[in-house]
Amino acid sequence: MEKEIIEKYKKAGEISKQAKIFARSQIKDGTKILDLADKIEKLIREKADGTAFPVNISINDITAHYAPDINDETILKNGDLVKIDIGVQVDGYIADTAFSVCVGEKSHPLIKAAEDAVNKFIQEIRPGKTIEEMSALVEEVVLSHGVNPVRNLAGHSIEQYLVHGNISIPPTKITNKQQIKEGAALGFEVFTTNGEGWVKESSPTLIYMLLYPKPVRLRESRIILEKIVNEYKTFPFAKRWLKDVTSPLRLQLALRELVNSGTIKEYPPLREKSNAITAQAEETVLVFDKPIVTTKI
C-alpha cells in the first residue's frame, strides 16, 4: 500500500476519532438522536471529503442501519444501549468505526465483550492469518464473556469508495483458509447480545445506496438520482438528507421507484430476532506486521 493512501486512511481515522469523542459527549438521557446525527455528520463534512455512510444510531434490539428519519422524535433514555456507527471518507478512503454506550451507566457486559473481541482481533491480526483462525478467535472471546455474537453480521474488507469489500470475517468459526493479505483494510466489527444472536430486517428503511443508474419516470426520482451521482456516489445515504427535495409522500414514492427499478438498494434497520439488546464495537485496521488501527482513540 502506497504511503499517500495510508495517510488518507489515517486522516479519515483522525476525523472519525473526533466525531466519536463529540458523539460520546452528547449521549445522555433526553438527547434527541436526530440532532445528534445532524451534528456528527456536520462535523464530518466540515473536516473530511464527506461521510462514508449516514451516522447510524441504533438503540437496544435495533442493532444496525438506523439513521434518524425526517422529524424523528426518538430521544435517548437512561438504560438504552445505543450503538453509534460512523463513516468518514478522504478521497474515497474510509474510516468505519463504532462504539456503544449504555445511557447513564459507565459500562455494560455486552459492550465489554464486543470491545474485548475487537481488541483481541487487533492484537492477533497479521498478514497471512486466515479468515478461519480469526473468526474462531472472535467467537472464543465473545463466548468467554457468557454472551452470544450476532452471527449474521461480520467484519469486512474496505476498498476505496466501497464500505463493504469482498472479505467477510464473521464472529463464529467458519471453514475458510483464505489468508488476509498485507495492506488489506478491514472494518472489523463485532456485535454481542444476550439473545439468540441473529438479526432480521425491520422497517422503515432509512438508508439507501446506488446500485446502477437506470431511467426513471418521476421528476423527484431524477432529482434524487442526480444528487446521488454528484454528491453521494457509491456511499450509502440517508432518506433524511433528501427532505428538501419534495414532500415526504412524494419522496417515499420516488425512493420506491428507484428501488423497484434497481437503481438503488435499501438497507433496512436490522433488529435482533429475539428482541434482545445488542452492543457493537468496530475499528478500521490496516493489516501489516505492525497493524495500523486508524480509528482507535
Residues of the shown chain interacting with Mn ion in the complex, contacts defined by CB under 5 A: 85, 96, 98, 187, 189, 282
Contact call for residues 263 and 212 (beta carbons, < 8 A): yes
Say whether 282 is catalytic. Answer: yes
Q: Which of 41, 61, 69, 96 is catalytic?
A: 96
Q: Give the nearer residue to Mn ion in terms of CB position, either 80 or 85.
A: 85
Say whether 93 sits in a helix, a strand or coil: strand
93 CA to centre of own chain: 15
Which candidate in 189, 220, 257, 272 is catalytic?
189
Name which of 263 and 294 has its Cβ closer to Mn ion: 294
> For Mn ion, which is the closer residue by CB, 36 or 98?
98
Query: DSSP E strands: which ranges in 166-269?
Result: 168-169, 185-193, 199-201, 207-210, 237-238, 264-267
Write down the least CB distance from residue 251 to Mn ion, Å.
26
What is the per-residue burial (b if ≥16 Cβ within 10 Å, else e) of 252-280?
Answer: eebbebbeebebbebbebbbbbeebbbbb
Output the smallest distance, CB 189 to Mn ion, in A. Answer: 5
Cβ of residue 248: shortest distance to Mn ion, in angstroms? Answer: 27
Q: Measured from the CB atom, is 157 or 172 closer to Mn ion?
A: 157
Query: Which residue of the set 41, 69, 85, 272 is catalytic?
Result: 85
- DSSP code of 242? G
Nearer to Mn ion, 53 or 224 (CB): 53
Q: Is 160 helix (H, G, I), strand (E, B) or coil?
A: coil
85 included as an active-site residue: yes
Q: What are the distances in angstroms from CA 237 to CA 66, 89, 115, 180?
A: 12, 13, 27, 29
Residue with cell 460512523: 86
* N-term to C-term CA, the chain: 23
Distance of CA 91 to the CA centre of its chain: 19
> Residue of minimal CB distance from Mn ion?
187
Q: C-beta of 127: minimal distance to Mn ion in Å?
A: 21
Residue among 80 and 96 whose Cβ is closer to Mn ion: 96
Question: Beta-carbon neighbour count of residue 243 at 10 Å?
Answer: 14
Task: Copy the grid coordinates of residue 267.
Answer: 438497507
Least distance CB 153 / Mn ion (angstroms)? 9
Order the strands of the 237-238 sheet from edge to edge. Answer: 237-238, 207-210, 264-267
Rounded to a whole number of angstroms, the minimum distance from the CB of residue 13 to Mn ion is: 13
Q: Assess whether 156 carries a catalytic annotation.
A: yes
- Site of grid cell 474485548: 116
By CB atoms closer than 10 A (0-12, 13-18, 19+), residue 74 is: middle
Residue 140 cell numbers, joined:
472464543
* Residues recognised as catalytic: 85, 96, 156, 164, 189, 282
